[in-house]
Amino acid sequence: MKKAIIIGATSGIGREVALLLIERGWQIGVAGRREEALLRLQTIAPERVFPAVIDITRVEAAEQLEALINKVGGMDLYFHSSGIGSQNAELKPDIELNTARTNVEGFIRMVATAFNFFKRQGGGHIAVISSIAGTKGIGVAPAYSATKRFQNTYIDALAQLSRLQKLNIRFTDIRPGFVATDLLGDRNYPMLMKTAPVAKDIVQSLQKKRRIRIIDGRYRLLVFFWRLIPRWLWERLPVKN
């Protein structure tokens, strides 16, 4: 029986991926900050779903992850779907710093713990939800786009480290566009995707061991053109709230 740990399983993409893995017979540990949402997932398959309340911004989260892995009985896949983001053109420091605590500090804490576990075990698969926002610095969301670029680079570095140390650790960096989750709130976004088909694409990408996956085709085209825009022009684009 395959075993996975999903961080950020209480809603959105993390929850949908958890549902698909449960349906496929996986044994999974589900973690997040909302206990009620985790317990609802457990009712689907009580013998195969193990909940744990974990706040990744807290120092003890690394030990809690290790405890959850032990409770599940091991880990083949670590799936990181925990993140926050806000538009913050006013550069309110608390918003910027809270974003960094979750998307950088918390991300490092949990992904590094998973890496070290797989190093001891002899292999495994680390998959993270980053974003196409890491492609360019977006003026209305500075900390969000910067932290997503950080996540892309961190996974690149770990992939190289894994090869240097001759470890059998695979990586998948999943970069969605706009997905209808609590993160976006009530705002209207172009090319908005629903969580269920996004999760299905993710699970297929994990099965195919893709290294980087931009979801979906429209966003792959968008990112292609974003990368062609020179810095002087990007800085003058009228991106608004």
Mean pLDDT, the chain, whole residue set? 93
Mark whether 189 is an active-site residue.
no
In a domain, residue 168? The reply is yes
Catalytic pick from 78, 144, 154, 219? 144
In a domain, residue 239? The reply is no
In a domain, residue 15? The reply is yes
CATH of the domain at 31: 3.40.50.720
Which residue range is the domain that position 105 belongs to? 3-234
The 3-state secondary structure of the chain, one letter per residue: CCEEEEECCCCHHHHHHHHHHHHCCCEEEEEECCHHHHHHHHCCCCCCEEEEECCCCCCCHHHHHHHHHHHHCCCCEEEECCCCCCCCCCCCHHHHHHHHHHHHHHHHHHHHHHHHHHHHHCCEEEEEECCHHHHCCCCCCHHHHHHHHHHHHHHHHHHHHHHHCCCCEEEEEEEECCECCCCCCCCCCCCCECHHHHHHHHHHHHHCCCCEEEECHHHHHHHHHHHHCCHHHHCCCCCCC
- pTM value is 0.94
Range among 58-62, 190-194, 230-234 with highest mean pLDDT value: 58-62
Number of domains in the chain: 1
- The tens digit of pLDDT for each residue in 44-62 reads 999 999 999 999 999 999 9
